[in-house]
């Protein structure tokens, strides 16, 4: 991993013992609100660990050292006046501004290794949309979710209307986006947007335990499962099944498959190398 790259809005840390990296959004004075620069730095931080064989899972989170309230991210930075090169009165430029943001969300979603969204505190608007491009979401019970954009006259366009509908039914998504209310982590867990709901005091240990599990799991299988599920939501069944057949074939050559099967037959715990 390159240590030379300088980040202002995020921190990146490798957890050698669990084979994973933590990318922390670090804007505590603004509840980790997102500027273009923040999203770009998340994408660049991911790039630094993309080919690092010792990083087999990534945790994306808000800073633990919060100053005001704990937050994953309170969404788009409302105090950000946008880019100097984009004219606010030019509609094409406004569309281009969203294209820039979509680009970063898409890059995060397409990352080849598993990403856990670790949510402790607010996950609102663009912050919630970040959760939606991760693979697994772990939330502490004190976390709060929602799309408050409508209360400010804003359209939640960082992929929210498109990705949430793939997780929840239309009536629930419209309820959330039409009224802009906050929802508890319990509610989001019940609705299936959150993978794990954890007591506040168990949150850190739980995130470490799950990230370490994924960091020591068969990385090739995880990659193919991730892609198969993600493409499966966008393709007809016959194409998705064809992807499964080819994915199975590719995975069968990985050393971890031999290790997993041998370990079972030899009645020992497998040691997966991610190869
Ligand atoms: N953009 C920029 N700054 C933000 C922010 C955002 N999205 N969300 C919070 N902040 C800043 C606040 O301005 C405040 O800064 P200040 O202390 O310098 O005044 C600080 O973070 C703390 O927020 P505050 O509102 O005082 O905390 P709270 O606990 O009373 O409320 C929220 C927390 C998250 C409910 C509230 O800040 C909020 O509604 N934020 C906007 C969320 C939003 O609309 N997101 C979608 C944007 S499109």
For residue 75, the CA-to-ligand 1 centroid distance in Å is 9
* Residue pLDDT, tens place only, 112-139: 999 999 999 999 999 999 999 999 999 9
17, 149, 186, 259: which one is catalytic?
149
Q: Rounded to whole angstroms, how far apart are CA atoms 134 and 143?
A: 17
Could you tell me the distance, in angstroms and rounded to a whole number, from the CA of residue 195 to the centre of ligand 1? 26
Catalytic residue among 129, 181, 190, 244: 129
Q: Name the DSSP class of 32.
A: T
Q: In the structure, what pLDDT confidence band is assigned to residue 4 with cuts at 50, 70 and 90?
A: low
Q: Which residue has the tokens 């997102």?
A: 34
Determine whether 149 is an active site residue: yes
- For residue 151, give the ligand 1 atom closest to its CA: 44
pLDDT band at 11; cut points 50, 70, 90 = very high
| Residue 5: per-residue pLDDT | 74
Q: Hey, whose CA ends up nearest to atom 31 of ligand 1?
A: 69
Top-confidence residue, 97 or 248: 248
* Ligand 1 neighbours by CB, cut-off 6 Å: 30-31, 33, 68-69, 74-79, 122, 124-125, 148-149, 152, 154
Average pLDDT over residues 180-191: 98
In this structure, of 4-8, 77-81, 248-252, the range with the lowest mean pLDDT score is 4-8
Confidence of residue 88 (pLDDT cuts 50, 70, 90): confident
Q: What percent of the chain has pLDDT over 90?
A: 89
2 pLDDT more than 90 = no
Ligand 1 centroid from CA 60, angstroms: 20
CA of 31 to the centre of ligand 1 (A): 7
Do 25 and 10 contact (CB within 8 A), yes or no?
yes
Looking from the CA of residue 122, the nearest atom of ligand 1 is: 34
Res. 156 pLDDT band, cuts 50 70 90: very high
Higher pLDDT, 88 or 224: 224
Does the predicted model carry a pTM greater than 0.75?
Answer: yes
Residue 10 host element (H or E): strand 10-15
pLDDT reading at 1 higher than 70: no
User: Looking at the predicted structure, is the pLDDT value of residue 272 above 70?
Assistant: yes
Is 82's pLDDT higher than 90? no
- Cβ partners under 8 Å of residue 262, min gap 6: 270
Dist. CA 109 → ligand 1 center (Å): 26
Answer whether residue 160 shows pLDDT above 70. yes
pLDDT, position 240:
96
Ramachandran class of 236: left when φ > 0, alpha when ψ lies in -120 to 50, beta otherwise: beta
> Which residue's CA is the nearest one to ligand 1's atom 6?
77
In whole angstroms, what is the distance from residue 70 CA to residue 271 CA?
37
pLDDT of residue 76: 96
Sheet containing strand 71-73, strands side by side:
71-73, 122-124, 144-146, 182-184
Quick check: is 259 catalytic? no
């Amino acid at each position: 991993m390159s240590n030379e790259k300088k980040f202002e809005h995020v921190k990146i840390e490798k957890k050698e013992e669990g084979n994973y990296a933590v990318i922390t959004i670090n804007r505590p004075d603004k509840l980790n609100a997102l500027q273009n620069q923040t999203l770009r730095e998340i994408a660049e931080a991911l790039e630094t660990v993309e080919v690092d064989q010792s990083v087999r899972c990534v945790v994306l989170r808000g800073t633990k050292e919060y100053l005001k309230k704990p937050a994953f991210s309170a969404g788009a930075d409302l105090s950000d006046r946008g880019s100097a090169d984009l004219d606010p009165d030019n509609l094409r430029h406004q569309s281009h501004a969203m294209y820039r943001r979509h680009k970063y969300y898409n890059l995060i979603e397409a990352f080849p290794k598993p990403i856990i969204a670790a949510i402790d505190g607010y996950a609102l608007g663009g912050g919630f949309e970040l959760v939606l491009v991760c693979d697994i979401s772990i939330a502490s019970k004190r976390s709060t979710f929602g799309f408050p954009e409508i209360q400010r006259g804003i359209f939640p366009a960082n992929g929210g209307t498109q990705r949430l509908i793939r997780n929840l039914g239309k009536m629930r998504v419209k309820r959330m986006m039409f009224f802009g209310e906050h929802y508890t982590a319990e509610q989001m867990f019940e609705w299936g947007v959150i993978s794990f709901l954890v007591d506040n005091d168990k949150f850190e240990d739980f995130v470490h335990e799950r990230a370490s599990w994924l960091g020591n799991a068969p990385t090739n299988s995880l990659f193919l499962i991730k892609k198969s599920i993600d493409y499966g939501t966008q393709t007809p069944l016959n194409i998705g099944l064809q992807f499964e057949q080819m994915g199975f074939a590719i995975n069968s050559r990985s050393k971890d498959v031999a290790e997993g099967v041998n370990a079972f037959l030899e009645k020992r715990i497998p040691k997966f190398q991610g190869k």
